[in-house]
């Protein structure tokens, strides 16, 4: 039986065509949704008696054990309304600590092999949650478009891009969350580079070699005009893609005008020339209109993406911005 990746797992769950709140994803399927495993064989789902009756009427399930029923090679259901769960990307999945308790009590080799993977995930999740609290406080007074919610969106984008890519997801998660805490645009020049990220990670007893890796990723993320670089690690490419995607589409438009207003930049001055070849110093120190920013950065980003998933998302967001600019100029000229 062909194993299925995360996108395929989500498709299989959606193909059931029942309310997501009526089942809980267990075992391999839950691990794939969390990003712990890359693929799964079949999907084990816990349901209550009422949902089971609904499914049995619809699919005529085959009993295979105590409270366990099979639909086909892809789906198995257990009648159990006592399973603890949490929400991952709109799906209810078994609580990771409850699942670890099950693994510890199991004699199956497959389950024993999963224990260190799950423990590592729990450890990473604890640090990610601490980092989320840290950046939320750090950006609590930012209204420039580089606020906490920008960081959260970049984290979610990076997390989703990282699925089905062989990478160190812990580095991706932490670098995406910390990518702006030492940004020159926000904190100015620092005596020591990345001091805020370093201090936070050291305070949480994070290994020095991995702190260095995170700082290296962050150092290659930003758009710097003609001085922009392509990251030399897959983790850096993922985080850079996520950060750039948040500059595109409807969100990117909103952030552009939020940043412009926050920095007293004019919205639009007809006839202003575009500078497509700014170096880093020019990019950071030139005052330009918000509309110029579309042409000098945003509309360039589609062709600067690194990963296939980011390229797909960027194309959609790029087209949205092009339509927006068409409408903007028509309204500016009083034609609509």
Q: Is residue 111 one of the residues assigned to a domain?
A: no
**Domain boundary, last residue among 47, 80, 105:** 105
Shared-domain flag, residues 94 and 208: no
Q: How confident is the model at residue 279 (pLDDT cuts 50, 70, 90)?
A: confident
Q: What is the mean pLDDT of residues 288-300?
A: 93
Q: How confident is the model at residue 285 (pLDDT cuts 50, 70, 90)?
A: low
Shared-domain flag, residues 134 and 254: yes
Q: Which of 4-13, 16-25, 171-180, 258-267 has the lowest mean pLDDT?
A: 258-267
- pTM of the full structure: 0.87
Domains identified in the chain, total number: 2
For residue range 175-208, what is the model confidence (pLDDT) as tens digits?
Answer: 999 999 998 777 767 778 899 999 999 999 999 9
Say which CATH number the domain at 85 has: 3.30.460.40
Edge-to-edge order in the sheet of strand 85-88: 62-65, 68-70, 75-79, 43-47, 24-26, 91-94, 85-88
3-state secondary structure of 76: strand
CB atoms under 10 Å from CB of 87, counted, come to: 10
Beta bridge partners of 70: 62, 76
Q: How confident is the model at residue 17 (pLDDT cuts 50, 70, 90)?
A: confident
Q: Is residue 293 one of the residues assigned to a domain?
A: yes
Residue 68 has pLDDT above 80, yes or no: yes
Of residues 309 and 228, more confidently modeled: 309
For residue range 151-178, what is the model confidence (pLDDT) as tens digits?
Answer: 999 999 999 999 979 999 999 999 999 9
pLDDT of residue 142: 81
**Domain boundary, last residue among 56, 71, 105:** 105
Say which CATH number the domain at 320 has: 1.10.3210.50
- Give the pair of three-digit tokens for residue 305: 């993406």
Identify the CA nearest to 46 among candidates 82, 4, 99: 82
Residue 224 has pLDDT above 80, yes or no: no
Shared-domain flag, residues 64 and 168: no
Shared-domain flag, residues 96 and 130: no
For residue 216, give its domain range: 120-332
**Contacts of 51 by beta carbon, 8 Å cutoff, 6+ apart:** 18, 22, 23
């Amino acid at each position: 039986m062909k194993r299925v990746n995360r996108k395929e797992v989500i498709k299989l769950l959606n193909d059931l065509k029942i309310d997501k709140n009526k089942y809980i994803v267990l075992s391999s399927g839950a691990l794939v949704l969390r990003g712990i495993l890359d693929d799964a064989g079949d999907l084990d789902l816990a349901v209550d008696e009422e949902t089971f009756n609904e499914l049995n009427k619809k699919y005529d399930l085959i009993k295979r054990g105590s409270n366990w029923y099979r639909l086909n090679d892809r789906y198995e259901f257990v009648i159990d309304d006592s399973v603890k769960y949490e929400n991952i990307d709109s799906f209810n999945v078994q609580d990771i600590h409850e699942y670890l308790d099950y693994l510890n009590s199991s004699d199956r080799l497959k389950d024993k092999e999963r224990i260190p993977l799950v423990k590592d995930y729990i450890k990473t999740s604890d640090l990610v949650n601490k980092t989320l609290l840290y950046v939320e406080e750090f950006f609590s007074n930012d209204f420039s478009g580089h606020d906490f919610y920008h960081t959260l969106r970049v984290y979610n984008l990076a997390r989703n891009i990282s699925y089905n890519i062989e990478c160190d997801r812990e580095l991706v998660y932490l670098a995406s969350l910390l990518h702006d805490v030492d940004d020159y645009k926000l904190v100015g020049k620092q005596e020591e580079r990345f001091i805020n990220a370093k201090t936070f990670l050291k305070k949480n007893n994070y290994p020095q070699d991995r702190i260095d890796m995170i700082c290296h990723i962050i150092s290659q993320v930003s758009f710097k005009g003609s001085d922009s670089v392509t990251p030399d690690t897959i983790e850096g490419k993922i985080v850079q893609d996520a950060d750039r995607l948040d500059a595109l589409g409807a969100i990117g438009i909103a952030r552009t005008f939020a940043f412009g207003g926050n920095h007293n930049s004019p919205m639009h001055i007809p006839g202003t020339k575009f500078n497509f070849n700014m170096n880093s110093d020019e990019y950071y120190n030139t005052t330009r209109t918000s509309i110029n920013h579309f042409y000098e950065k945003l509309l360039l980003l589609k062709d600067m993406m690194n990963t296939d998933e980011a390229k797909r998302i960027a194309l959609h967001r790029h087209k949205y911005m092009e339509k927006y600019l068409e409408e903007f100029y028509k309204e500016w000229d009083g034609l609509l």
